[in-house]
Chain A
Amino acid sequence: MRQQLYLYLCLRAKTPPKNPSFLFVQTVQNKPISHLLPLVEPLAIRAILFLLIAHLLALALLGFLLADKHRNLQLELAVSRAEVSLSPILAAMEGATLSGLEISEMLTIQRQLAIVPGVKSGIAVARMFSLNGTPGASPAGRIIFSTVGEHQGHPLDETVLAPLLKAGNRWMRNSLEAPTLGILVHDNSGQAVGGLMVELDATSLLAQAAKLEHEMIFNLLLLAVPSGMLLMIAFALTQRHGLRGGRLMLAVLLPTLIASAMLAWQSKEELAGSLQPAIKANSLAVAGGLVSKIEHALSLGIPREKLAGVPQYFDDVLNRHPDLARISLTLGNMTSEQFHAGRHPALANFSEVAIHHDGMQIGMLSVAPDQDFVDRALWAIAADIGVVLLVVVLTFRELLTSLVTSPPGAPMANTTGAGAQSVRLPLFLFILSEELTRAFLPLFFRDIAGAGGMALNTAVSLPISVYMIFFALTTPYAGGWADRFGPHRVFALGTLLAGSGFLWMAMTGNYWAVLGARALCASGYAMGTMACQRQIIATTTGDNRARGLALFVGAVSIAAICGASIGGVLAERLGYRMVLVCSAGLAGVGYLAFILNHRAGLAIKAPAVSFSFGELLPVLRNRRFMQLMYGAAIPAKISLAGFLFYLTPLGLQGAGYSPAAIGRAVMLYYILLTMSNPLASCLSDRYRRHLALVLGGMLLIGLGGMAGLFASVLSPDAAIWLGIVALGLGTGLSAAPMQALAVEVAPEGSATSVLVALRTLERLGSVIGPLLAGLLLGWLSTTGVMAAIGGLTLLSTGFLLTFGRSTSVRDRLLRSST
């Protein structure tokens, strides 16, 4: 028993898959390929069905990304055009405010505003509002003038005023249905006194978007049918020729990759065509604005040949408008032409506006759009597309390894780890549902806490800590329940709890409800993962069990890599709440996959683990074990939960990162962890230098945290990236040797009790981490807290240095003599 569990422990820690597709190889060896044929075998049908669904989902996700980018570009261009039309009015309002006029007194400017709405500006409704508050109270907006005849003094809609005031200067509602732009005007003490709130004309925007989306769906269908057939043929061929491993992956992935590339290329053309009118309108608005500026200068008595600072002015305009490439001016004998480096002026389709003075045309100004604007904009989502493709690759790998080789109902004696295989997909999906939220959860908490008037940093960290507490509390019992009631029941309950937690979070605006929802998610997560673990133990024996448990680790890390990155992409496009709904959906799909793979008859009781909490006491009394906990296990988890889960999203968002970019940063941690873990296991096995590896890993984590000190030299985001790299490598290096060391130094407890003690104590670190970071954020900057956590880790590592070698040898001698 003890030996078995020790093996389980070592495997969890030290021997993750050396060959990524070993599971596949293993099972194929045991079950000849010919047995899988003909294709009518239900297993193969199920496999191809799952692959087709994944294939379609991947294409749909890509199409969604492209359509979303199109909507954003459209909105961006429309807002830019509106801003050009509004800029003289805003300048007049600023000037009038600085010379002491109230917004309500700006009658001339109101007349100017009245003629702004129209086809040229793309503005449907324009409102001028004033902000007045009695001192000390939050300002209230009053409409002073509106082009749709609302009464003066009517209060301004709070739903648009509040976000504008929060943004401070300029705010836009990122929605094609009701695109709105708000701009504030400030007085000389920096206080906002009023501003403009305009609604853009949504009908043409929506029509354009709908047209493009229809074309996109048509393209998708057109591509999906042949590429899906190609996929089926490729899969059948791989089965016939017995391809496996990398070749199988390649053959199955190829149709999806080709279809994705074709979709991207096709939509590039359509996007460019669809955005052309908006780009043209924008260049025309800019040209019109520039001409009125020049005419104003001429009206001041500036002779046209003495017009100064024209090139610099045009340069500024080009820098503000990424869709424009060239502005040229002919004024009498004078010509001026400004290009923007790296952009290519369109040969046709430029906007020309005549310049008049004293009733005579005296010149011409032309603005040429950048013909590569759409291409450049699409390159900006290349990283997102890359993430989608990476997730496709990893998901296909998961699907292949779990589906192709797990015939359900096969006799247990012969199938090595078939039962274990059967949980692979549900486990992957279930963990994915939690990891989807990784990149943005602290940002979501902050929004909720901020809306409820709780601006405290601890209000953001508390939900993370609550999660960790409930996870730690549920885990020890969940295993027992799985043995008593059967893994499928516990897994069902786990998905139910986690799914309802996500849904609750998606729907509530109440901070305390979010805490409750996190507690549900945590308990559900603990139950789901423990049920899968018990299922693996129940359906494997000896050597297979080791592999089965390595599978568990593999599913966790691949789901983490996929989840963090794709969750960020989705959050950016759909919003936080929609991703939470997706998570709930994924948990449900995970449950479906579980019952599909898991026939009730397969539920075999796991070998009962005779374990009681009393066994923990001698381990906890072991000073050297506790030294390892204080010196390494707990600080490592403080860094993970405090720095990566809490500080990283907040800090990177502060540096202007989008949720998708934050997701990629978090993904890097999991990639490095997954890569360095086998290396550490190998080193640990060969040289038995557990302590050195633990010390090295911890040193790396600590030094990575100290990078926060150089935030001013490096830039804060660079410091955070360094911290993530160090944390990933450091944790990868130290995690496995730490477990081995723990078992070595605590011979008085069984391997199980040592493991339970280790897990429980390190979860203490996960609880402390976010709370500590939240507390410190009251005094320090994000990178300052990062450095503080790094410093704490280094101090603990110093404490661990006193961990003498001599005693460790004595322990080992003691152990070998018993």
Chain B
Amino acid sequence: MNILHRTALLALIALAPGTGLAGEQHILMLLYRGCEEACQSFQDYFIKHHLPVRFTLRDAAQDKTRLPGFVAEARRLKPDLVVTWGTTVTQEVAGPWRAPDPSRYLTDMPIVFMIVSNPVEAGLVPSLASSGRNLTGTLYLLDEETQLRAARSYLDFKHLGLLVNPSEQNSLTTRDRLRQLAPILNFQLSERVLSVDASGKPHPDELPGLVANLAKSGVDLLYQSPDTFLNSQRDRLTGAALACKLPVFASAEAPVVKSGALMGVVNRYSEVGRLTARHAVRILFDKAPPASIPIELPRRFSFLINMISARQLELYPPLKLLDFAELIGDASAPPTSLETHSLCN
């Protein structure tokens, strides 16, 4: 795939608003961290299917204060569809489902969101079946039960370890879910809580110690919850776990693909982008009202296996998993050179 070529083409399209062909649809994409994989595969979908659209991209660059400006611009540009990326952008652009203020939020044009963890909890929609308004979108997080059941097809774990980060709501939600699941899926759950400093941030240096501690208490799989801090410390975390011969299950893509987590069961951002594009096509070309499109996950998830970690741990995937898992790192790849404290010895 010629990404460079495509990006150049997109840039041209994006730079020239208002030069549309007849019947061409205008999509305004409001982003938070640049045009990453979901955003790119969203655009790819239209190009591959030769659908007449042009895109206008606006990136908040993780700055929430820019969002009201985007709303004002959207009112001026009058696009056929607005795409929002992430919970924050969607909340600031679409507003709550319960009586949104039309002067502050976009209520009169169709909006499709993606990469929103929990649209119901975020107050965006009353239920996943229908938003009941000019809004629909896609999910991207798999529930913990699906993840753990899939993990069991690789490794019959009995004792799950979890690092709890009290400074992030995501981490606490995951902890509660795993506590509920422990008796259902019949595993023991051991938690270690990260200490938080005066500014409310956990300290990265205590990670290897906590991991070693979990390994010593007999944990046979470490669950890495989808929180921002742990994701930023993924090399240190998975490296420490590998040193302790402790496999890591990640609920996000990056720790498996870019670091040393053994496996992950995720929806890849590119798949989420394509599913979101399908929703957009239905609104733009089939004239389906957004409220009629349920908010859903991609139908199939990706089972990611890091073969380098598998070889290091000598924990090889069963034959059946090889039929459908995505393998990262082939036989010739060298072992990971992640930071390895020997706290386990």
Contacts and interface: CB of A to CB of B under 8 A. Distances in A.
Interface of A: 91, 94-95, 98-100, 102, 132, 134-136, 186-191, 293-294, 296-297, 299-303, 306-310, 312-313, 316
B320 A98 contact: no
Contacts of A187: 274
Interface stretch (B157-165, B231-239, B275-283): B275-283
B311 A301 contact: yes
B274 A300 contact: no
A307 B319 contact: yes
Interface of B: 1, 41, 44, 48-49, 268, 270-271, 274-275, 278, 281-282, 285-286, 298-300, 302, 307, 310-311, 314, 316-324, 326-327, 330-331
A641 B223 CA distance: 61
Contacts of B320: 309, 312-313, 316
B322 A98 contact: no
Contacts of A94: 324
Contact of A310 (B302, B317, B319, B326): B319
B328 to A, nearest CB: 11
A308 B317 contact: yes
Contacts of B268: 99
Given A132-B49, A188-B274, A313 B331 contact: no
A297 B319 contact: yes
A299 B316 contact: no
Given A188-B299, A299-B331, A308 B278 contact: no
A112 to B, nearest CB: 16
B300 to A, nearest CB: 6
B247 to A, nearest CB: 13
Contact of A100 (B270, B322, B331): B270
B322 A296 contact: yes
Contact of B270 (A99, A296, A312): A99
A102 B318 contact: no
A309 B319 contact: yes
A301 B322 contact: no
Contacts of B281: 135
Contacts of A309: 317-321
B44 A100 contact: yes
B323 A306 contact: no
Contacts of A294: 319
Q: Pick the most buried of B286, B307, B322: most chain A CB atoms within 10 A of its CB.
A: B322
A87 to B, nearest CB: 9
A98 B330 CA distance: 20
Contacts of B330: 300-301
B275 A189 contact: yes
Contacts of B285: 134-136
A95 B41 CA distance: 16
A302 B308 CA distance: 11
B337 to A, nearest CB: 17
A272 to B, nearest CB: 33
Contacts of B318: 308-309, 312-313
B316 A188 contact: no
Contacts of A307: 316, 319
Nearest to A308: B318
Given A98-B300, A188-B298, 16 more contacts: A98-B271, A99-B270, A100-B270, A135-B281, A136-B285, A189-B298, A191-B278, A293-B323, A296-B322, A297-B316, A300-B327, A301-B331, A302-B310, A309-B317, A309-B319, A316-B320
Contacts of A134: 285
A296 to B, nearest CB: 7
B331 A300 contact: yes
A136 B287 CA distance: 10
B288 to A, nearest CB: 10
Contacts of B316: 297, 302-303, 306-308
28 contacts: A95-B324, A95-B326, A98-B271, A99-B268, A100-B1, A100-B270, A135-B286, A136-B285, A187-B274, A188-B275, A188-B299, A188-B300, A189-B274, A190-B299, A293-B323, A296-B322, A300-B327, A301-B307, A301-B331, A302-B310, A302-B316, A306-B314, A308-B316, A308-B319, A309-B318, A313-B318, A313-B320, A316-B320
B200 to A, nearest CB: 38
A301 B314 CA distance: 10
A168 to B, nearest CB: 14
B249 to A, nearest CB: 17
Nearest to B322: A297
